[in-house]
Homo-oligomer: A and B are copies of this chain.
Amino acid sequence: MEAVKGESPGRGSGAELLSGASVKALLDSVDAFLFDCDGGNPIAGVIWKGDKLIDGVPRTLEMLRSKGKKLVFVTNNSSKSRSQYADKFRSLGLSVAQDEIFSSSFAAAMYLKVNQFPPHKKVYVIGGEGILQELQLAGFTALGGPEDGEKRVQFKSSGFFEHDKNVGAVVVGIDPSINYYKLQYGTLCIRENPGCLFIATNRDSVGHMTDLQEWPGAGCMVGAICGSTEREPVVVGKPSTFMMDFLLQKYHINTSRMCMVGDRLDTDILFGQNAGCKTLLVLSGVTTQSELEDSSNRIQPDYYTGKVSDILELLGE
């Protein structure tokens, strides 16, 4: 990783506050900007706060695109497909193309594609509609998902729970309609179908299903299947670097030419650093400047700034 360390007098090494000079250096050194869309908090974020875009975001993104930068909006949300996610952006007044979105539902489908998953094999889904849609768009046959949410199991001693022997992968994401039927179906596929893959969209412990509270995340359903199968999954969402591998393969952009933009030190920034990306912390989210500068904080992004649109302001464009 090509480190760009701060030079402010008195702070020694550490994050550098974005300036007119450093923003130019950053733009010259980077071909892709990866924006984290999963705020650590529903009312603080990188692109939006709650239901509102953060000021200046659309113009900033437009400028970056006009300079030929690839933009990627990254989310571990697997319940939506990219197209559903694009609708969400549009409803906020932001025009984002489907191929600028990298959701963990899409990541699961691309993982299978990149690894030449045989098209005659099927995929069983524990999770939302978004996963099914992305799998189908990629040409795969997907089973399960929301329609298995109302299925119940019968424990007759002579009964037999049938599962499809052609399932070659089980994809697990957040699933608010999780039940014993789905757990048994996924477990049987992984335990009994030879070579069956076990793919987790992500392992986030909790997420904001509602504004006021956190709810069990994909890590909950993934943990359940780990427990029943004694297997560990392949994780395709953050903090796995599958996304970077995919961008390298598809757009020939190396991680050293990517900049991860996020509002959390222990997830976004650490993830970007571990992948070998440059990192930019925005203070419009959960991290305050004093937390960043606290001596107990060991995670220093390359750059930090107040909000995404500072890129535009500092360039004077």
Binding site for B on A (CB under 8 A): 153, 155-161, 175-180, 183-184, 187-188, 191, 203, 205-206, 209-217, 219-230
Are the CB atoms of A223 and B227 closer together than 8 Å?
yes
> What are the 3 closest A-B residue pairs judged by CB atoms, nearest first?
A223-B227, A219-B227, A216-B228
CB distance from A260 to the nearest CB of B (A): 23
Inter-chain CA distance A184–B205, complex, in Å, is 11
Are the CB atoms of B220 and A183 closer together than 8 Å?
yes
Are the CB atoms of B203 and A157 closer together than 8 Å?
no
> Which residues of chain B have C-beta atoms less than 8 A from A226's C-beta?
223, 227
> Which residues of chain B have C-beta atoms less than 8 A from A215's C-beta?
153, 161, 180, 184, 187
Are the CB atoms of B229 and A225 closer together than 8 Å?
no
Query: Which of A153, A188, A220, A222 has the most B CB atoms < 10 Å from its CB?
Result: A220
User: Which residue of chain B has its CB nearest to the CB of A154?
Assistant: B210
Chain A binding surface, main DSSP class: mixed
Are the CB atoms of A213 and B179 closer together than 8 Å?
no
CB distance from A190 to the nearest CB of B (A): 11
Inter-chain CA distance A156–B210, complex, in Å, is 7
Known interface pairs A220-B225, A221-B227, A228-B205; A183-B178 also in contact (CB < 8 Å): yes
Known interface pairs A180-B176, A206-B228; A187-B220 also in contact (CB < 8 Å): yes
Inter-chain CA distance A301–B5, complex, in Å, is 62
Supply 15 A–B pairs (Cβ within 8 Å), ascending by A. Answer: A153-B215, A156-B210, A158-B210, A176-B180, A178-B180, A183-B220, A187-B215, A191-B206, A191-B214, A205-B230, A216-B224, A222-B227, A223-B223, A223-B226, A226-B227
Are the CB atoms of B177 and A180 closer together than 8 Å?
yes
Are the CB atoms of A205 and B227 closer together than 8 Å?
yes
> Which residues of chain B have C-beta atoms less than 8 A from A157's C-beta?
210-212
Inter-chain CA distance A223–B220, complex, in Å, is 7
> Which residues of chain B have C-beta atoms less than 8 A from A153's C-beta?
176, 215
> Which residues of chain B have C-beta atoms less than 8 A from A209's C-beta?
155
Known interface pairs A180-B178, A187-B220; A160-B213 also in contact (CB < 8 Å): yes
CB distance from A287 to the nearest CB of B (A): 20
> Which residues of chain B have C-beta atoms less than 8 A from A159's C-beta?
210, 212
Inter-chain CA distance A210–B180, complex, in Å, is 14
